[in-house]
């Protein structure tokens, strides 16, 4: 098999280096998307256009390379959200050479005259919007490879629905082409905008939300009638959940959302779904989310367990309140949790502790029960005394592999 050259074209043929031009001249077969092949209409080689499934096209590339010198064309840099990984996976690294070039991200930031060493770069090609929400929750500068579903206007609308007002959206369209355009908008302006399908979005924060960290005092959150998990209990519960950066957490019976919001700060590539049956409290969660910029927290208003089958599969579940539906909620949670998934139930009544324990035992799970008893110093005359808060039990279990 001949060595296959995976060639980065940058933004246009004007970005081609001497090494790339040599590879193109030497190639007997050109493979790539039609738009890229059209750049080389005068090339005498045979063409393998990518028009259907990538797997079938890669087979054609492999067959052609048995007897011909093949150049695979890629826009931007082939190793950056590009085709190089797929070609190497199919042919093996020893049979491939990669010729890099300028990425759309580099070009866009150059046009905007923005330094980009601290930018978070994500792609939404064929993916859901979770990566977008986690990026804007944790970064001040985000570059997004869009697709036909996640257009700039739809991205702006999704961010506004998550309370993300403090962003400027730059849209770089048709980079390197004669009709190249780079424009800047507020998110509200971008919702109604008309943009080329070939675009890259750069989100630049214009207003920082309040700082979110573990153990914020209760007064740091808007809440109703004292329905908030106390700071110390939050800290212990989050430790019992053993969160990892990519996890998805269900916060069930979320109240004002304090535990889910603090969890969102730990899940810098993950997400939280906060479920609350009371409409007013669900709105409070949304306001707290906007206050702290926690775009990777989704608020679901609905009754449990009815809404749970519609949620994405969790890695961790926290049950802050389920009332008489506790057993049914745990059934749904344990069914949806993967092996090694963790569930933690918070209880302030002994009956709730016993119900949770019976359900977990019936599911064949060992479980741990801890009591969190908080005593806070309060002034008394010229001294202080310890003011006791209501004890909280945390019942936690790990789902075992079948």
**pLDDT tens-place string over residues 33-50:** 999 999 998 999 999 999
- Assess whether 157 and 261 both reside in one domain: no
pLDDT tens string 59-110: 999 999 999 999 999 999 999 988 999 999 999 999 999 999 999 999 999 9
Q: Taking the chain, what is the end-to-end CA distance rounded to the nearest angstrom?
A: 45
CATH of the domain at 136: 3.30.950.10
Composition of the chain by helix, strand, coil, percent to 5? 35, 25, 40
- Assess whether 383 and 239 both reside in one domain: yes
Residue 213 lies in a domain: no
pLDDT at 402: 66
- Assess whether 181 and 195 both reside in one domain: yes
- Assess whether 271 and 361 both reside in one domain: yes
- Assess whether 45 and 193 both reside in one domain: no
This prediction has a pTM of 0.88
Contacts for 148 with CB less than 8 Å, ≥ 6 apart: 197
CB burial of 246-269 (b: ≥16 within 10 Å; e: otherwise) equals: ebbbbbbbbbbbbbbbbbbbbbee
Range 20-41 average pLDDT = 91
Question: Does 132 have pLDDT greater than 70?
Answer: yes
Domain containing 222 equals: 218-398
Percentage, residues of the chain above pLDDT 90: 88
Residue 307 lies in a domain: yes
Q: How confident is the model at residue 24 (pLDDT cuts 50, 70, 90)?
A: confident
pLDDT tens string 346-361: 999 999 999 999 999 9
Domain termination residue (choose one: 102, 120, 144): 102
- Assess whether 301 and 377 both reside in one domain: yes
- Assess whether 233 and 274 both reside in one domain: yes
Domain termination residue (choose one: 49, 78, 102): 102
CATH of the domain at 361: 3.40.50.150
Percentage, residues of the chain above pLDDT 70: 100
pLDDT tens string 263-317: 999 999 999 999 999 999 999 999 999 999 999 999 999 999 999 999 999 999 9
Question: Does 150 have pLDDT greater than 90?
Answer: yes
**Beta carbons of 29 and 69 less than 8 angstroms apart:** yes
Residue 212 lies in a domain: no
How many angstroms separate the CA atoms of 372 and 241, rounded?
15
Residue 291 lies in a domain: yes
Residue 114 lies in a domain: yes
Give backbone dihedrals phi and psi of 318, rounded to 5 degrees, phi first.
-115, 125
| H/E element, 19 | helix 18-26
| Closest listed residue to residue 260, CA positions, set 348, 332, 344 | 344
Mean pLDDT of the chain: 94
CATH of the domain at 80: 3.40.1010.10
pLDDT tens string 237-252: 999 999 999 999 999 9
- Assess whether 160 and 246 both reside in one domain: no
- Assess whether 78 and 170 both reside in one domain: no
pLDDT at 233: 96
| H/E element, 277 | none
Query: How many structural domains does the chain have?
Result: 3
Higher local confidence (pLDDT), 126 or 119: 119
Cα angle, residue 202 at apex, residues 298 and 145 outer, rounded to 5°: 75
Range 189-208 average pLDDT = 95
Domain termination residue (choose one: 205, 236, 264): 205
Range 119-136 average pLDDT = 93
pLDDT at 1: 83
- Assess whether 223 and 175 both reside in one domain: no
Residue 211 lies in a domain: no
pLDDT tens string 213-244: 999 999 999 998 888 999 999 999 999 999 99
Residue 210 lies in a domain: no
- Assess whether 31 and 127 both reside in one domain: no
pLDDT at 20: 85
Residue 83 lies in a domain: yes
- Assess whether 118 and 96 both reside in one domain: no
**Beta carbons of 288 and 256 less than 8 angstroms apart:** yes
pLDDT at 358: 96
């Amino acid at each position: 098999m001949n060595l296959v050259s995976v060639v980065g074209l940058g933004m246009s043929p004007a970005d081609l280096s001497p090494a790339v031009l040599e590879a193109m001249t030497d190639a007997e077969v050109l493979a790539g998307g039609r738009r890229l092949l059209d750049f080389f209409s005068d090339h005498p080689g045979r063409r393998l256009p990518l028009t259907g499934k990538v797997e079938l096209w890669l087979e054609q590339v492999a067959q052609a390379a048995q007897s011909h010198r093949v150049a695979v064309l890629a826009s931007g840099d082939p190793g950056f959200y590009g085709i190089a990984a797929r070609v190497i996976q199919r042919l093996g690294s020893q049979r491939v050479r990669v010729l890099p070039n300028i990425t759309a991200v580099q070009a866009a930031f150059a046009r905007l005259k923005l330094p980009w060493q601290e930018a978070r770069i994500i792609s939404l090609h064929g993916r859901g919007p979770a990566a977008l929400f986690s990026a804007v929750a944790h970064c001040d500068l985000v570059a997004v490879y869009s697709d036909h579903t996640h257009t700039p206007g739809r991205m702006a609308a999704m961010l506004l629905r998550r309370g993300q007002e403090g962003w400027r959206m730059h849209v770089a369209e048709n980079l390197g082409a004669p009709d190249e355009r780079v424009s800047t908008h507020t998110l509200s302006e971008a919702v109604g905008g008309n943009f080329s399908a070939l675009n890259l979005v750069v989100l630049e924060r214009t207003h920082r939300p309040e700082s979110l960290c573990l153990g914020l005092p209760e007064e740091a959150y808007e809440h109703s009638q004292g329905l908030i998990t106390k700071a110390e209990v939050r800290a212990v519960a989050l430790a019992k959940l053993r969160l990892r950066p990519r996890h998805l957490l269900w916060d069930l019976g979320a109240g004002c959302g304090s535990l889910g919001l603090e969890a969102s700060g730990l899940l810098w590539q993950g997400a939280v779904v906060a479920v609350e049956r009371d409409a007013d409290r669900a709105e409070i969660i949304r306001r707290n989310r906007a206050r702290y910029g926690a775009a990777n927290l989704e608020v679901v208003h609905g009754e449990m367990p009815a809404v749970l089958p519609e949620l994405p599969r969790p890695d961790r579940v926290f049950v802050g309140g389920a009332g008489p539906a506790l057993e049914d909620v745990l059934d749904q949670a344990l069914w949806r949790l993967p092996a090694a998934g963790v569930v933690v139930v918070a209880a302030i009544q002994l009956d709730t502790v016993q119900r949770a324990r019976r359900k977990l035992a019936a599911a064949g799970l060992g479980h741990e029960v801890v009591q969190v008893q908080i005593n806070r110093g309060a002034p008394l005359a010229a001294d202080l005394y310890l003011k006791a808060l209501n004890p909280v039990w945390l019942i936690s279990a790990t789902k075992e592999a079948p």
